[in-house]
Chain A
Amino acid sequence: MKKQLLIIPSILFLLILLALFYLLIIERNPSELPSNLLNKNVPKFETESLLKSKKFVSTKEFGNEVVLVNFFATWCKPCRDEHFYIQRFANEKGIRIVGINYKDNPKKTIRWLKNLGNPYSDVPIDKNGRIAIDWGVYGIPETFIINSKGIIKYRHVGPITKKMYRKINLLIKEIE
């Protein structure tokens, strides 16, 4: 009886090993963090708009349809890389995209949008990064999906790649 009990630690060890091995092989990004704002209302903010003379007021802009919110800047190289896909969201899928211009130079941004094309329906300016802090942003580019009730349903940190483009499209369909 006692000898049989001795096998327990080995089995426990094997189970721990299996669990760790499982975590190793499944597809997951250990540095990815879910947003704390998930399933919460869009943070309230008011700021200047780059393209329009009237102020951008968040309470008026969200809550009617599914909206993508994309934090970007001209000085951010990955933002340039993902721009192609942001445009596809706007042109092919007809999704409303709000591009929050993070700590940037307005003149440069206007030129950037002229050269690369403008997928954004509005570009609120986050001059000192305070809006981004309210959104829990820690490194641009970041993209959020907001549902038609003005609730944050998804957050992606980093540039949108081909794979992410497909995933976000599926998510938008689900959310709609």
Chain B
Amino acid sequence: MTINKIFIIILFISLIQAFSNNTYAVEPDEILKNQIQELRARNISKNIRCMICQNQSIDESNAALAKDLRILIRNKIQEGKKDEEIYKFLTDRYGDFILLKPPFKLSTLALWVLPFIFLIIGIFVIFFHNRKSKKI
């Protein structure tokens, strides 16, 4: 097999992974009748960490607490709560850790900014290195 063929196969596998979105744990009795509300609930659930399994969202987890939180989110949506209010409700109780994506704030500044700083340093290093090699 040529390297090209292997590359194409890997590309296909990752494409399948990227577009397969069927791995969710929402049970039929949880689903809201109102499709717009249900979609909102699904979107929030995807961003909320299952505190027991920790690397799954509550949308994918079968844990009891994940189910409780999914139902709670749906109840809050039906009560007319905004997305931000629901996120605040959850982070007030479980901390920022319940969000799968860490929020951008002072305590997480290094986390968000360092990769870009390293990228810039890297670009500089390569740039100066190349300039020197040309002289020789």
Contacts and interface: CB of A to CB of B under 8 A. Distances in A.
B124 to A, nearest CB: 14
A36 B65 contact: no
Band of interface residues on A: 10 to 19
A128 B72 CA distance: 11
Interface stretch (B2-10, B35-43, B77-85, B92-100): B92-100
Interface string B42-67: 00000000011010000000001100
A133 interface: yes
A133 B93 contact: yes
B14 interface: no
B95 A138 contact: no
A129 B68 contact: yes
A129 B52 CA distance: 15
Contacts, number: 35
Interface string A41-80: 0000000000000000000000000000000000000000
Given A133-B68, A139-B65, A36 B93 contact: yes
A129 B93 CA distance: 14
A129 B64 CA distance: 10
A49 to B, nearest CB: 22
B93 A136 contact: yes
A135 B52 CA distance: 15
A36 B68 contact: no
A37 B93 contact: yes
A34 B97 CA distance: 10
A36 B68 CA distance: 19
B73 to A, nearest CB: 11
Given A33-B97, A36-B91, A36-B92, A133 B69 contact: yes
Given A133-B72, A139-B52, A33 B93 contact: no
A129 to B, nearest CB: 5
Given A138-B51, A138-B52, A33 B68 contact: no
Contacts of B69: 133
A135 B93 contact: yes
A134 interface: yes
22 contacts: A33-B95, A33-B97, A35-B95, A36-B91, A36-B92, A36-B93, A36-B95, A103-B64, A128-B68, A129-B65, A129-B68, A133-B65, A133-B68, A133-B69, A133-B93, A134-B93, A135-B93, A136-B95, A138-B52, A138-B94, A139-B51, A139-B65
The 7 A-B residue pairs whose C-beta atoms are closest, nearest first, are A138-B51, A36-B95, A136-B93, A136-B94, A129-B68, A138-B65, A139-B52
